[in-house]
Amino acid sequence: MTLHDQNYNFGYLDEQTKRMVRRALLKALAIPGYQVPFASREMPMPYGWGTGGVQVTAACLTPEDTLKVIDQGADDTTNAVSIRKFFQRTAGVAVTEHTEQASLIQTRHRIPETPLTEGQILVYQVPIPEPLRFLEPRETETRRMHALEDYGLMYVKLYEDIAHNGEISTAYAYPVKVEGRYVMDPSPIPRFDNPKLESAAIQLFGAGREQRIYALPPYCQVVSLDFEDHPFEASKADHDCDLCGCATSYLDEIIVDDAGGRMFICSDTDFCAGRQAAGHIGRLSGKDTA
Amino acid sequence: MQTDALTGGFGDAPVQAARAFRAALEAMARPGTLHEVTGAEAPAPVGAAAAVLLLTLCDAQTPLYLAPGHDVAAVRDWIAFHVGAPIVAAEDAAVVLGRWQALAPLDRYRIGTPDYPDRSVLLIGEVDALSAQGARLTGPGIETHAHLSLPEIEVFRANAALFPLGWDCFFTCGTRLAALPRSTKVEPS
């Protein structure tokens, strides 16, 4: 591609760094849900902007790829736009906003509504990869807990949720158990998205500041932790999308005036735009809500 | 050093390594699938796909063990020039290269520790034939089941039983490769 800025190596990272990331990715796929330490590099963006995801994407991109980047489901937010431009410039790859057309999707905190297919890769930006971290701050201890499959503390936390609130109140970053072995943080996706973790696509997770990479191979068993009498429930706002009328997608709530007015719209902008283009309308379609 | 040790590497390393890695990633994520990789040529007996894997995954940070048959001067020279991986004993290796039969005994390789199961070896085993028939594979990355012409069965069952410890392997045959991670369950077909 002619757009590739030749002052940068393909995909920004140097080759030795990519080999290091790639070795970690292969180990991560071989041990689903296990957090593989890797020598995360400083990237030309701050921690919290997806440095882990960017390194994973850089290690996976080929010139033939079509890249999509979303931030909370939206293609047009600052984080998504800047990362997309970063790879347009340093790798010269084609970009798209359409989920079906993308071969590699980097995401912050959402899984696209459109089901992913074989041949697609979903790369997550992860802030805190350790699901046990807020329960046990010591890395030496959480590592040992994973080694011993000692996840009682996590169940106690979920039980306390029920004891205090009558239900499991964890709404995002809802812990899952992978292939009956490792408890994993699916990154701060809403728990609405948890059932979509069992996917035909390859899912890779990169945590830059915390220097961890983990992965879910396709068709991997991913079970959201719950109790027999309090089964896991994928929850969402009890509304339809006000723009496309969809009753099954994950919604963002938007305050539209100072008189308590609000609207609910699909968090996945591509999904919502696609439905509107196909003629679906919602409660506020065509109205000036500004 | 022979001059042919200086040839056979990637001409455009960033792009060729990226394509090769995607094939390796797909192979490891979907055990039993076959992938073609090209672009590297190492001295005999190293096959094309094995050479591509060495260039894509190995460097000075990956101690490499060459099994008997592959541990010849021409191969060592080629690796020294193109890869730079230190050649070490089997017990210390992060990556192992050889004919599959020459890799035995397999219980001497690193399988990781309970705290760090990733500190385990990657085996690159060259085989005479590689096709999507033979042993029945199930597990992560496989929707229902897959088949792969594995050279044997029992060692893979024993390795899978060690999960999350164990080794992972690539099989190469000419320009073709497939992978078998430790998570895959293997049965006779």
Minimal-distance CA residue of chain A relative to B16: A62
B62: chain A residues, CB-CB within 8 Å: 23
Cβ-proximal residues to A200 (8 Å cutoff; 6+ apart), any chain: A115, A116, A117, A118, A120, A218, A219, B143
What is the per-residue pLDDT for A1?
Answer: 45
Among candidates A16, A118, A200 on the partner chain, residue whose Cβ is nearest the Cβ of B59: A16
In this structure, the answer to whether residues A115 and A250 fall within a common structural domain is no
Looking at every residue in chain A, the average pLDDT score rounds to 95
Residue A26 and residue B13: Cβ atoms within 8 Å? no
Confidence of residue A289 (pLDDT cuts 50, 70, 90): low
Minimal-distance CA residue of chain A relative to B168: A30
Alpha carbon B49 to chain centroid, angstroms: 9
pLDDT > 90 in chain B, percent? 97
What is the per-residue pLDDT for B3?
Answer: 66
CB B138 within 8 A of CB B64: no
Q: Within 13 Å, how many C-alpha atoms sit on residue B185's CB side?
A: 7
The tally of domains found in chain A comes to 2
- CB-based contact (8 Å) between B142 and chain A? yes
Asked if residue A159 is part of any domain, the answer here is no
* CA gap A202, A220 in Å, rounded: 9
Residue B19 and residue A143: Cβ atoms within 8 Å? no
Residue B140 and residue A10: Cβ atoms within 8 Å? no
* CA gap B149, B132 in Å, rounded: 6
Regarding predicted confidence, which is higher, B3 or A69?
A: A69
* CA gap A29, A204 in Å, rounded: 8
Asked if residue A178 is part of any domain, the answer here is yes
pLDDT in tens, A231-269: 999 988 899 999 999 999 999 999 999 999 999 999 999
* Catalytic site includes residue A220: no
What is the per-residue pLDDT for A78?
Answer: 93
Asked if residue A269 is part of any domain, the answer here is yes
In this structure, the answer to whether residues A208 and A276 fall within a common structural domain is no
In this structure, the answer to whether residues A211 and A270 fall within a common structural domain is no
Cα Dmax for chain B? 50
Query: In the predicted model, is pLDDT for residue A71 greater than 70?
Result: yes
B185-187 and B135-138 strand pairing: antiparallel
In this structure, the answer to whether residues A94 and A217 fall within a common structural domain is yes
φ, ψ of residue A12 to 5 degrees: the values are 70, -50
* CA gap B44, B39 in Å, rounded: 16
Domain containing residue A84: CATH number: 3.40.50.11310
In this structure, the answer to whether residues A181 and A278 fall within a common structural domain is no
Q: Within 13 Å, how many C-alpha atoms sit on residue B51's CB side?
A: 26
Asked if residue A204 is part of any domain, the answer here is yes
In this structure, the answer to whether residues A108 and A60 fall within a common structural domain is yes
What is the per-residue pLDDT for B105?
Answer: 95
Among candidates A15, A32, A147 on the partner chain, residue whose Cβ is nearest the Cβ of B115: A147
Strand ranges inside B14-134, DSSP E:
35-36, 64-66, 95-99, 122-126
Rounded to an integer, the average pLDDT of B62-66 is 98
CB A16 within 8 A of CB B110: no
Confidence of residue B4 (pLDDT cuts 50, 70, 90): confident
What is the per-residue pLDDT for A3?
Answer: 65
Cα of B74 to nearest chain A Cα, Å: 24
Q: Where are the domains of chain B?
A: 3-131+166-178
In this structure, the answer to whether residues A180 and A109 fall within a common structural domain is yes
> May I ask the CATH architecture of the domain B3-131+166-178?
3-Layer(aba) Sandwich (3.40)
- CB-based contact (8 Å) between A38 and chain B? no
| End-to-end CA, chain B | 47
ipTM: 0.97
In this structure, the answer to whether residues A119 and A202 fall within a common structural domain is yes
Query: In the predicted model, is pLDDT for residue B1 greater than 70?
Result: no
The residue whose two tokens read 């029920």 is A162
Helix H or strand E segment including B70: none
Range of the domain at A275: 236-284
* Catalytic site includes residue A241: yes
CB A116 within 8 A of CB A176: no
What tokens were used for B77?
């020279």
Rounded to an integer, the average pLDDT of A142-153 is 97
Cβ-proximal residues to A160 (8 Å cutoff; 6+ apart), any chain: none
